[in-house]
Amino acid sequence: MKNIVFDIGNVLLEFRPKDFLKGLGFDKDINTRLYHLIFLSEEWKELDRGVIDYDIAYNIFSTKAPELKTEIRTVLDRWHETLTPIYENVKLLKDLKEYGYNIYYLSNFHKDAYEKMYHKYDFLRIGNGGVISYQVNTLKPDHHIYATLLSKYDLNPTETLFIDDSYENVEEAQKIGFQGILFTSCNELRNSLQQML
């Protein structure tokens, strides 16, 4: 094994939108509505694909729920605050890099949020590269995004390990020939890596 590919959301950075919404001080009913309106929407996926921006998303959400315009703007402006490092996995990534493994990233992520995180956290800058969904207008588990990573860096999938918190994403990677680990906890991940590497 030469290459380790990390998902970012809920593998390297916590993403807990319900907890984020609770911290904004809105009442429970509004939080529930915002969660479904924004985080479970097709527009959220379109942001990940990079085919719309926050202004377009805001206009769509505001049309669907005009009485929540202020709250929608607050969420879109601040949701990235919920993205905080999973320090055990960050340390693991850095250890793997020091051991000589090539580190890559493969993640579904909005352009603006990813750029904020990239500049904020050094561990997103120490890898050998990566493919983020907005860059290729495609989301995991679509085959194309995995193939793009392999071709961009001339990687052999049989020499490449992919770590993700989504079963579907890991399953698709394995179909292409990657080794795969479904992330469930930091301890389990470390144990799995010790057995595989």
Separation of alpha carbons 95 and 106, rounded Å: 19
Tell me the pTM: 0.94
Q: Is the pLDDT of residue 109 over 90?
A: yes
CA distances from residue 78 to 51, 57, 65, 178, 182 in whole angstroms, order as listed? 21, 14, 19, 35, 29
Query: Mind listing the pLDDT tens digit for each residue in 130-186?
Result: 999 999 999 999 999 999 999 999 999 999 999 999 999 999 999 999 999 999 999
Handedness of CA 24, 26, 28, 33 (dihedral sign): negative
Query: What are the E-state strand segments in 56-165?
Result: 84-85, 102-107, 129-132, 160-164
Residue 192 makes CB contacts below 8 A (sequence gap 6+) with 181
pLDDT in tens, 47-83: 999 999 999 999 999 999 999 999 999 999 999 999 9
Tokens of 192: 């799995």
Beta partners for residue 84, in sequence order: 14
DSSP code, position 50: T
At 197 the pLDDT is 85
Q: What mean pLDDT do residues 23-42 have?
A: 96
pLDDT at 105: 98
Residues 92-99 have a mean pLDDT of: 96
Q: What's the rounded Cα separation, in Å, for the pair 170 and 43?
A: 24
Q: What is the pLDDT of residue 89?
A: 97
Average pLDDT over residues 4-28: 96
| Distance, CA of 127 to CA of 77 (rounded, Å) | 28
Residue 126 pLDDT more than 90?
Answer: yes
**186-196 and 87-98 helices cross at what angle (nearest 10)?**
20
Q: What is the mean pLDDT of residues 1-25?
A: 96
